[in-house]
Amino acid sequence: MKVIGIDLSGPANHKDTVLSVFQVKDNRLVFEEMVVDANDEMIISTIKAAASIGEVVIGIDAPLSYQDGGGDRPQDKSIRQIMKSYGLSGSSIMPPTLTRMVYLTLRGVSLTRRVMMMDFYENIQLVEVHPGAAIGTRIGKEHLSHALLYKKNEGSSKFVLEWFDKVGMVGVPETLYFSSHQIDACAAALAAWHWADSDKQPTWHWKTTSAAHPFEFCC
């Protein structure tokens, strides 16, 4: 099984869009490649290549639906509360239709619908993820500061990279510390792996789906 973590940005901001690709081996997540500056076709082609071979689990850091009428989805309210209970900031959870979020939501919705129409879709599992929460709800209270600071502090980003190895992620390049987007792509894969693997479980999991909200959400 391959696991792909995607740190998505808006459609005009390819430079901040990153895919991490891992292979599950011996109960570990083994790093294979990082795709940076990813446009839509790069994302689709990477997923298609993996799905043509076997099972693929994809965790996407972006809203994959929106609330009719605007505002928070129920899952947004739930994960915000969970993050606060762990001492994390809930401010990164914003309504999908908020002005600064709407283009990211548009791209997330568009890409996932293209994936759903793809050949080999029967090999694909999709889940919405939150990388910061995936790190912060697992790293432990004594190291919580690193989960709060890794996007801004080099020491914290290096700590998170070392921590990835401790949670079973093998071969993640040490040079990733300079890019929070690449770290988030790896954390997206971590959350998706724990969601899909029957021997593991996410730290938070929104299971309710509907026609308007077709994907589960986890961290």
- For residue 2, give the nearest of 67, 77, 52, 66 by alpha carbon: 52
State pLDDT tens for residues 60-115. 999 999 999 999 999 999 999 999 999 999 888 999 999 989 999 999 999 999 99
Q: What residues contact 98, with CB distance under 8 A and at least 6 apart?
A: none
196-213: per-residue pLDDT in tens? 999 999 999 999 999 999
Residue 138: its pLDDT value, please? 98
**Residues of the domain holding 160:** 2-218
pLDDT (0 to 100) of residue 16:
85
Q: Where are the alpha helices (DSSP H) in the chain?
A: 40-51, 74-85, 102-116, 131-136, 144-149, 154-166, 180-196
Give the chain's mean pLDDT: 95
Number of domains observed in the structure of the chain: 1
For residue 140, what pLDDT band results from cuts at 50, 70 and 90?
very high
Question: 128 near 217, Cβ under 8 Å?
Answer: yes
Residue type, 142: E
Provide the pLDDT for residue 177: 79
Q: Band of the pLDDT at 176, cuts 50, 70, 90?
A: confident
The residue among 129, 17, 128, 130 whose CA lies nearest residue 65 is 128
What are residue 207's phi and psi, to 5 degrees?
-95, -20
How much is the pTM? 0.96
| Rounded Cα gap, residues 121 and 94, in angstroms | 29
Sequence letter at residue 19? L
Q: Answer yes or no: is pLDDT of 13 > 80.
A: no
Contacts of 76 (CB under 8 A, 6+ apart): 93, 94, 95, 96
